[in-house]
Amino acid sequence: MRIINLIGVGPGSPDMVTMEAIKAIKQSDVLMGAARALKTAQDAVPELDIEICEAVKTDDMVSYIKAHPEKKVVSAVFTGDTSVYSGAIPLKKALERNMRPDGGDDSEDEEKSDSLEIRNYAGVSSIQYFLSKRSISMADVKLVSLHGRHKDMIPLIRENKFVCALLGSEGTVSNISEELIQFGLSSVKIIVGERLSYKDEKFSVGKTREMRGKMFDRLAIALFENDDAITPIRSYGIGDEHFERTGGVPITKRDVRALSLCRLAIRDNSIIYDIGSGSGSMAVEAGLASPEGKVIAVEINQDAIDTIERNRYQFKVDNIRIVRGKAPECFSEMDMQKPGERKNVANDGPLPIPDCVFIGGSKGNLQKIVDWAVNINPDVVIVINTVTLESVAEVLEIEKRLTDYNFEMVEIQATGLERRGSYHMHHAENPITITRISRR
């Protein structure tokens, strides 16, 4: 039987390596991992005399294991703990997916070969170590990793008192500080821990303006403390009067907006496209509803784009990316991500695959936009607002073609009450047809 050990070696100091991990390392035929983890393991077991294989990528580790069946006990070491943003997780999945007991052959003669056992050895994660030093409970903290990925931090910091981030580059804290200032969150306190568990470990504390421009170790940890964090109420229908408006730029009115957002079925991490974004009221509320997701606001009018930008900052929603152009033609000029790449949804580069698409304005391209959406993601949810009978007829024509999809249509007319002197008068909005398209 072959044994693959997945070992967490702690934040860095060899003194933090557990006795169980040391025992497993001593019984190994080969030790593999990134340079920093290997050094920690070797310092913890100085008498170790086995083959050392430096490997960072999951594919390289799997390739080595498959190419060396004579190595009966392989120990892959990872900094921190194997369950907290660890490379041990994708390695375990890759081994289970790609390695059969006979090393990958699909023949039925598997029982003749060695079986494969994967063992996990927990370590002290750098996050645990950092938070214990600050006497903060992990239960009170929102955790996020910025290693090799983009994350919109404003929604997380806006809604959580504590956000703890594994940094990805030397300038990450400075960049986030700049964004916090721009979005009116300059009072946030930032604590950065570097070289954790080593003799020269260092903690830096300051507000956003003090941290702007400072460089830190790319493997550092930062804690963002927001005493003014607002616990969100997940409901829709912000009053129209709260949005910045520009003459001639349309806005999806409050009651229609609330029903349309409900039909989109937005999750915390949804990717939402707002086609014909106008004033950005749909984009803003969608962004608030998906703090770990992304909103792509598509608009061709520059006055509208400027209005969306103002509303982004007013509502502290930085997870909105504006694309200028006419859909869907503008998408053909841009690269699209693959579905598995959605973890890194940045403000530039390839566009993410949509989970939901709202069409508030199509510029005569309604059928083309719907076809684009269902082709790029067959499981997409589309919500369309139409005002004219001609647009409704176009939706019905689309329904005839898309036989694999459900079309739910409802026409609503919101009527409010307005005070006129000593009287209250009814004020009716134009009737709107809301269509929801989803896969059967």
Q: Taking residues 104-112, what's their average pLDDT?
A: 41
Grade residue 107 by pLDDT with cuts at 50, 70 and 90.
very low
**How high does pLDDT run on average in the chain?**
92
CA–CA distance, 401 with 411 (Å, rounded to integer): 22
- Tell me the DSSP string of 119-177: EEE----HHHHHHHHTT--GGGEEEEE-TTS---HHHHHHH-SEEEEE--STTHHHHHH
Q: Taking residues 234-253, what's their average pLDDT?
A: 92
- Tell me the DSSP string of 309-362: HHHHHHTT---EEEEES-TTHHHHTS-B--GGGGGG--SSSSBPPPSEEEES--
Q: Tokens standing for 398?
A: 């689309």
Which residue type, as a one-letter code, is found at position 421? G
Q: Is the pLDDT of residue 112 over 60?
A: no
Which tens digits make up the pLDDT trace of 86-104? 999 999 999 988 775 444 4
CA–CA distance, 37 with 14 (Å, rounded to integer): 10
CA–CA distance, 29 with 40 (Å, rounded to integer): 18
Own/partner pairs, 325-330, CB within 8 angstroms, 24+ separation: 325/298, 325/300, 326/300, 326/363, 326/365, 327/275, 327/276, 327/298, 327/362, 327/363, 327/365, 327/368, 327/369, 327/372, 328/365, 328/368, 328/369, 328/371, 328/372, 329/365, 330/298
Q: Is the pLDDT of residue 105 over 60?
A: no
Paired sense of beta strands 294-299 and 271-275, if any: parallel
Residues of 109-137 as b/e, b for ≥16 C-beta within 10 angstroms? Answer: eeeeeeebebebbbbbbbbbbbbeeeebe
Which tens digits make up the pLDDT trace of 385-396? 999 999 999 999
Residues of 279-295 as b/e, b for ≥16 C-beta within 10 angstroms? Answer: bbbbbbbbbbbbbbbbb
Please give the radius of gyration of the chain, using alpha carbons only, rounded to the nearest integer: 27
Q: Tokens standing for 371?
A: 């076809």
Q: Taking residues 57-81, what's their average pLDDT?
A: 94
Residue 344's pLDDT is what? 66
DSSP state, 10?
A: B
Q: Is the pLDDT of residue 352 over 60?
A: yes
Grade residue 243 by pLDDT with cuts at 50, 70 and 90.
very high
Q: Taking residues 294-299, what's their average pLDDT?
A: 96
Q: Taking residues 199-221, what's their average pLDDT?
A: 95
Q: Tokens standing for 172?
A: 């990450």
Own/partner pairs, 239-244, CB within 8 angstroms, 24+ separation: 240/281, 243/279, 243/280, 243/281, 243/284, 243/311, 243/314, 244/279, 244/307, 244/310, 244/311, 244/314
Q: Quote the longest CA-to-CA distance of the chain.
A: 92
CA–CA distance, 13 with 437 (Å, rounded to integer): 55
At a CB cut-off of 8 Å and minimum separation 6, what does 122 contact?
A: 8, 18, 81, 82, 83
Residue 108's pLDDT is what? 42
At a CB cut-off of 8 Å and minimum separation 6, what does 435 contact?
A: 382, 383, 384, 386, 395, 407, 408, 409
Residue 391's pLDDT is what? 95
Between 378 and 104, name the one with better pLDDT: 378
The answer to whether the CB of 81 falls within 8 A of the CB of 122 is yes
Grade residue 333 by pLDDT with cuts at 50, 70 and 90.
confident
List beta partners, residue 204.
192
List beta partners, residue 223.
164, 191
Q: Which of 72-76, 238-242, 305-309, 413-417 has the lowest mean pLDDT?
A: 413-417
CA–CA distance, 292 with 268 (Å, rounded to integer): 6
Q: Tokens standing for 180?
A: 């916090």
Q: Which of 223, 206, 207 is nearest to 135 (CA)?
A: 223
Q: Taking residues 105-126, what's their average pLDDT?
A: 70
Q: Is the pLDDT of residue 301 over 60?
A: yes
Helix-helix angle 302-314:281-289, to 10 degrees: 40
Grade residue 114 by pLDDT with cuts at 50, 70 and 90.
low
Q: Which of 94-103, 147-156, 363-372, 417-426 has the lowest mean pLDDT?
A: 94-103
- As a whole number of Å, the end-to-end CA separation of the chain is 47
Q: Is the pLDDT of residue 411 over 70?
A: yes
Grade residue 397 by pLDDT with cuts at 50, 70 and 90.
very high
Q: Taking residues 204-223, what's their average pLDDT?
A: 95
At a CB cut-off of 8 Å and minimum separation 6, what does 390 contact?
A: none
Which tens digits make up the pLDDT trace of 122-145? 999 999 999 999 999 999 999 999
Share of the chain above pLDDT 90, in %: 83
